[in-house]
């Protein structure tokens, strides 16, 4: 549904707060959180409150979101959206699942164990691929004229940020907390575990207090001149309660409402730039997708426990059918089986327009190849973000050192990569003053130095 919104902003008032929120918002659910039972209605998505916190932390945030929406709207008018709609390229997203638990024995799997099994994690990856690829013969298939294959796939990362082999799962015993608050603990979770968000989709799976899922939306730019740098790249990803991650296996809740893995499908839709179909406003608001019919609100509470059809009267009082089967709604998992063609075009545009998504896409579509001579590339350069990506291409697999020096020759960072193939590494530059630095990569027989400009 497309509707004009002044300056692409929505004014939102809630319990005494008056604040401007960008078009990327997730409506706060009104259902009380309690110990879940099989049919308990839960708070599905915690983005609206967390978005307010992100904007308080980072004065750039609202403008970033607005700029991305403007870029998408421009792309829709200049033909890029149409090209994305027909582009058959399959985007394959490397995923790292950070399992954070307080099981002192550190046993894996079993009842009520936050240290979930690999089988449970793999079941969630399977659901994502069924849903995003609209796979026939699965719960992710539909026969709707407006349903579409997103041509996006997910796989557990096969190498870690240093180029070492990995199964894409990290496990972390954290004794200090038994559960986490998505509003206040996102930074803590990223301190416990984080892989560069311009190369991986980070998913933190843990016990969550107040919601079963949360995602940080993409934005148009990481920093704006004259304003403080953002640390949002370190929290860029998805947090999901371990009891609702995966499909009817391991510790997945026996709930008939949330046991099919659609919480992750929904949240990663946000990670790819989708808004709820009701537009996250006060009824009949904008979701910036032309083929999703206008929807009055998030859902009708009385039918949230089933798939009974509902209707909205947003345009001149004419009733239109709500897309209860759409992944960006709040209906039970069993009702969901669709992304529309418009949503697919938007997600694919976001992958090319949002900086960290575009960098991830570049690394996915252009894997580093072996070279006869040592080659080093730095991007972005000049850099305004908290970390720089450095491509190191070499012959076969070799051990190499990567060092960062200031203009006086003082060594600031030093890393060693053992028996590594050509790889992309990240070097943090947080806290470095504006100026010129030297990146040096040295193997047993070759050495290359490059200038890095920090702005």
Phi, psi (deg, nearest 5) at residue 438: -115, 125
Instruction: Write b or e for each residue in 342-375: b if 16 or more Cβ atoms lie within 10 A of its Cβ, otherwise e.
Output: bbbbbbbbbbebbbbbebbbbbeeeebeeeeebb
**In the structure encoding, which two tokens stand for residue 345, read together?**
């075009």
- Asked whether the beta carbons of 109 and 119 are under 8 A apart, the reply is yes
Q: Is 267 a catalytic residue?
A: yes
In angstroms, what CA-CA distances link 429 with 6, 77, 224? 38, 37, 17
Three-state DSSP at 265 gives: helix
> Cβ neighbours of residue 183 under 8 Å, at least 6 residues apart?
46, 49, 50, 53, 210
Whats the size of the chain, residue-wise? 455
- Asked whether the beta carbons of 398 and 236 are under 8 A apart, the reply is no
- Asked whether the beta carbons of 116 and 138 are under 8 A apart, the reply is no
286 bridge partner residues: none
Tokens 């990803």 correspond to what residue? Answer: 237
Q: Which of 49, 51, 67, 267 is catalytic?
A: 267
Longest CA pairwise span in the chain (Å):
75
Closest C-alpha to 447, from 400, 395, 405, 408:
400
- Asked whether the beta carbons of 289 and 339 are under 8 A apart, the reply is no
Gap between the terminal Cα atoms of the chain: 40
Active site residues: 267
């Amino acid at each position: 549904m497309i509707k004009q919104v002044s300056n692409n902003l929505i004014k939102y008032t809630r319990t005494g707060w008056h604040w401007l929120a960008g078009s990327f918002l997730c409506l706060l659910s009104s259902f009380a959180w309690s110990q879940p039972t099989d049919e308990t209605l839960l708070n599905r998505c915690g983005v609206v409150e967390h978005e307010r916190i992100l904007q308080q932390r980072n004065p750039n945030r609202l403008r970033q979101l607005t700029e991305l929406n403007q870029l998408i709207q421009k792309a829709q008018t200049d033909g890029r959206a149409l090209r994305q709609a027909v582009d058959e390229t399959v985007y394959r997203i490397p995923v790292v699942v950070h399992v954070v638990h307080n099981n002192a024995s550190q046993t894996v799997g079993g009842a009520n164990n936050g240290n979930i099994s690999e089988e449970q994690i793999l079941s969630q990856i399977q659901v994502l691929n069924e849903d995003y690829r609209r796979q026939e013969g699965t719960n992710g298939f539909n026969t709707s004229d407006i349903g579409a294959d997103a041509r996006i796939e997910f796989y557990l990362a096969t190498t870690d940020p240093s180029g070492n082999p990995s199964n894409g799962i990290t496990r972390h015993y954290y004794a200090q907390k038994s559960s986490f608050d998505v509003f206040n603990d996102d930074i803590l979770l990223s301190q416990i575990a984080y892989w560069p968000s311009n190369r991986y989709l980070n998913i933190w799976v843990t016990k969550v207090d107040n919601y079963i899922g949360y995602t940080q939306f993409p934005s148009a730019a990481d920093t704006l001149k004259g304003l403080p740098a953002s640390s949002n790249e370190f929290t860029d990803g998805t947090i999901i309660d371990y009891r609702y991650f995966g499909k009817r296996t391991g510790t997945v809740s026996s709930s008939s409402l949330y046991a099919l893995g659609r919480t992750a499908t929904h949240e990663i839709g946000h990670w790819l730039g989708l808004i709820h179909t009701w537009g996250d406003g006060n009824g009949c608001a904008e979701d910036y997708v032309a083929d999703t019919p206008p929807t009055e609100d998030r859902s009708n509470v009385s039918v949230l426990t089933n798939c009974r059809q509902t209707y909205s009267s947003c345009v001149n009082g004419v009733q239109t059918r709500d897309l209860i089967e759409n992944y960006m709604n709040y209906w039970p998992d069993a009702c969901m089986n669709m992304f529309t063609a418009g949503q697919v075009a938007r997600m694919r545009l976001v992958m090319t327009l949002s900086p960290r998504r575009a960098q991830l896409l570049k690394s996915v579509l252009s894997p580093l190849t072996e070279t006869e001579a040592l080659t080093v590339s730095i991007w972005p350069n000049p850099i305004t973000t908290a970390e720089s990506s450095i491509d190191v291409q070499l012959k076969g697999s070799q051990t190499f050192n990567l060092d960062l020096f200031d203009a006086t020759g003082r060594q600031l960072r030093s890393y060693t990569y053992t028996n590594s193939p050509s790889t992309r590494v990240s070097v943090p530059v947080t806290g470095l003053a504006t100026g010129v630095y030297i990146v040096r990569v040295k193997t047993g027989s070759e050495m290359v130095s490059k200038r890095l400009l920090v702005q």
